[in-house]
Amino acid sequence: MVQKITAKIGPSILNADLSQLHVESQRLLDSGADYLHLDVMDGHFVPNLTFGHPLVKCLRNKIKNAFFETHMMVSKPEQWIEAMANAGVNQYTYHVEPVEDVPLICRKVREAGMKVGIALKPGTPVDVVVNYIDQVDMILIMTVEPGFGGQEFMKPMLEKVAWLRKNYPTLDIEVDGGVGLNTIQFCAEAGANMIVSGTAVTGSSEPGRVMRSLKDAVTQVEEFFCF
N-to-C CA span, the chain? 12
- DSSP bridge partners of 68: 36
- 39 as an active site residue: the answer is yes
Paired sense of beta strands 8-11 and 36-41, if any: unpaired
- DSSP bridge partners of 8: 194
- Residues ≥6 apart with Cβ < 8 Å to 209: none
- 101 as an active site residue: the answer is no
What value, to the nearest 5°, has the Cα angle with vertex 52 and ends 16 and 70?
A: 70
Sign, CA dihedral 98-101-103-106, equals negative
**Which residue of the set 39, 42, 127, 172 is catalytic?**
39
Sign, CA dihedral 208-30-67-55, equals positive
User: Among all residues, which ones are annotated catalytic?
Assistant: 39, 176
